[in-house]
Structure 1
């Protein structure tokens, strides 16, 4: 019976998402692009990403020996890149909207947008480095330096916070030095596309740009920018033909996902393993299938958000710690796994998957809160927010 409890997540998740949801009345619209709604949905997706990482440790097809496989979270194993695509869309969307609505937005852009992400990367890298030493991983000086520099990932979930600062910097330099808005958008988009083309040329490895998960959803960053640029034209059009687009987007999602699975099997990201002379082309054809499914996923989420306002206290809270929880929960995933990131034996292996999920969440949330407070102290954001609140009350 205990082993079957894990299937309750498929009931719990819809309840978490829809608790407190408010459908819009006929002829009325919800702002599906509002910061409040998108943060709430990101909080929900962060929980799904946690389940994705635990699923990879408990029921992924590549686990060995096969006796390690415990069913329950198979649904989440292959969809991590789809979940992260929503975050990248709003990274791009938010940067463009802020540039056009906030005065002198680019002044201090690096400090406000780039530095917090870099700090999150290296603070969790140090935490994982200490954890690796404590669980008994042996490393020489070059190995330690590779870990601490994040050239080799000490925290295995940090690819996102490694590539995001480069996309932000591409945005910053494009919009700082290119006066024509369309050319600045093109420049940022070109940077991300070139990164994807570079990624498809690199074989799977132990260092930077390790595999397809480093680049198979990053196209959503420029798509978010382009959407923001033409939002005033896109949204009225979507409202006019809403049910056509909504039904089409939802119905297309599963077939597009199946096609992406077919493309991975037929073309393969792993052409180097069977000495394929056209391995780069194979990767790009597979990538195209995932571009389609991620774009449709975000499009469907936005369309549904136009008619249903989601949000409750739990999602609102999770939306405030998404980055920190994303980065720190993996520590407890590793500590409770069979081995710590494929190395030494983990000290607290848990075979009951439902208990595994509860432990990771129970330790991940307070750790994320502490991590956020630490980052706030280092960056001084806590004092700045307090000053803003005082000024608001005074006015």
Structure 2
């Protein structure tokens, strides 16, 4: 039973490639179509779930060491690489939408920023209630910090905190700068400014609490830049496709090893024993290595996507609930691990990691659907998936008809 967790390395390729189609010869797939990117994001959401479970089961920092159960080790430090793909698609998508949809910036806050903020605070409230129910002790200040998300009540929400700021950077740049190239440069500069700010902030319990808040952020402007020059990049890459694919895939592992070596030599830590200016310099050197690695990682996937068209009903479904699943599955990761984020003992520890994975997924999917329905109700949008189909209009009409019959 213990070794069954290794089956994920067979299941994941099946999930990704089931129903996939290969473009032969000089034919290429539109690897950046909405359908394909949504399917891929659905797959990545599952990988991020495995990343969070890996950090609870086999990370080197788990104490005592006797709690470590190997199996998902490859996912322990994969989080920032996986999120880099999301950020690339975020940047790519917002730029393409700006240029393809008339008056796109009108109502921009409601379309792009409000749904992300709503997702942040709805899951914050859910985690807050869960923390109370499992017995976490809080004073008034802790309650305020949790409910405002200044201190993360849901430990996985950093992405949905920084994303609205990146969208805001895009809005300000493209609203007030009419020249497209300068607007792209301004957005890029603002994101880089955020990254440099991050390197100046020591590890803490609040916003920008660690390097994962910024070490893949560069992919948002990379996505924008790619979208801007897509019509030049894609034909050039297609012309020398196999050379690009071989070089990028062959160089990925050496780049990852090099990035890890930079991290070991310099790193993001140093508080308490190094001068602050040295810590900042070390972080920026390490950040440069991670930025290159993230960009290379994304480009490898894009190159493979040019020949392989993924997409099956399962990935299509997961692609529609990606944000909600990303945010809510962590609740079950915490409830069934050794301890809930913050130190309180989890109410039930699942011994076997494969069962842990299946339970988190089985509870995470319906919870994500329910959460999405709630968000859509608040935003006035139509829900695609419903756990319970309740037609309020019919209920009202039925009540009116019953009252009329009684009167008659």
- Would the TM-score normalized by the shorter structure come out above 0.5? yes
| Residue 393 (structure 2) aligns with | none
Given the alignment of the two structures, is residue 56 of structure 1 paired with residue 55 of structure 2, yes or no?
yes
Residues 80-131 of structure 1 deviation map (CA, whole Å, 9 limit, x = unaligned): 0000000000100000000000011111110000000000000000000000
In structure 2, the partner of 1:352 is 352
What are the residue-to-residue correspondences of 1:197-346 with 2, within 5 Å? Answer: 197-277=196-276, 278-346=278-346
1:124-203 paired onto structure 2 within 5 Å = 124-203=123-202
TM-score with structure 1 setting the length: 0.96
Distance 1:61 1:223 in 2: 32
- Which runs of 5 or more structure 2 residues have no equivalent in the other structure? 386-408
1:379 maps to 379
Aligned to 2:406: none
1:112 match: secondary structure? helix
| Stretches of 4+ aligned residues off by more than 3 angstroms | none
Cα root mean square deviation, aligned: 1.2
SS of equivalent to 1:57: helix
TM-score (norm 2): 0.93
Structure 1 gap segments, 5+ residues each? 386-395
Out of 82-91 and 277-286, give the one that drifted further.
Answer: 277-286
The 1-side partners of 2:109 and 2:245 are apart by 37
Deviation at 1:293, TM superposition (A): 1.0
Asked if structure 1 preserves the Cα contact closer than 8 Å seen for 2:116 and 2:160, the reply is yes
Compare 245-254 and 56-65 and name the one that shifted more: 245-254
Contact 2:373 2:383 in 1 (8 A): no
Q: What is the CA–CA distance in structure 2 between the aligned matches of 1:287 and 1:375, rounded to whole Å?
A: 35
Instruction: Provide the rounded CA distance (Å) in 2 between the counterparts of 1:274 and 1:369.
Output: 47
CA–CA distance in 2 between the matches of 1:64 and 1:185?
A: 45
Tell me how far apart the structure 1 counterparts of residues 267 and 95 of structure 2 sit (CA, whole Å). 35
Which deviates further from its counterpart, 326-335 or 256-265?
256-265
Other structure's SS at 2:233 match: helix
Structure 2 contact 95–227 (Cα < 8 Å) conserved: yes
Kindly tell me the number of residue pairs found equivalent between the two proteins. 384
Aligned to 2:107: 108
Q: Deviations over 1:177-198 (max 9, x none)?
A: 1111111111111110000000
Once residues 383 and 148 of structure 1 are traced to their aligned partners in structure 2, the CA distance between those partners, rounded to angstroms, is 27
Give yes or no for contact 2:29–2:305 (8 Å, CA) kept in 1: yes
Q: Tell whether the 8 Å contact from 2:18 to 2:311 is kept in structure 1 after alignment.
A: yes
2:116 is equivalent to residue 117 of structure 1: yes
Which one is further off, 237-246 or 115-124?
237-246
Deviations, residues 237-296 of structure 1 (Å, cap 9, x unaligned): 101111111111111111111112111111111121532551111111111111111101
| Corresponding residue for residue 400 of structure 2 | none
CA distance in 1, matches of 2:104, 2:330: 33
Higher alpha-carbon deviation: 114-123 or 64-73? 64-73
- For 1:106 and 1:5, locate their aligned partners in 2 and report how far apart those are by CA, in whole Å: 49
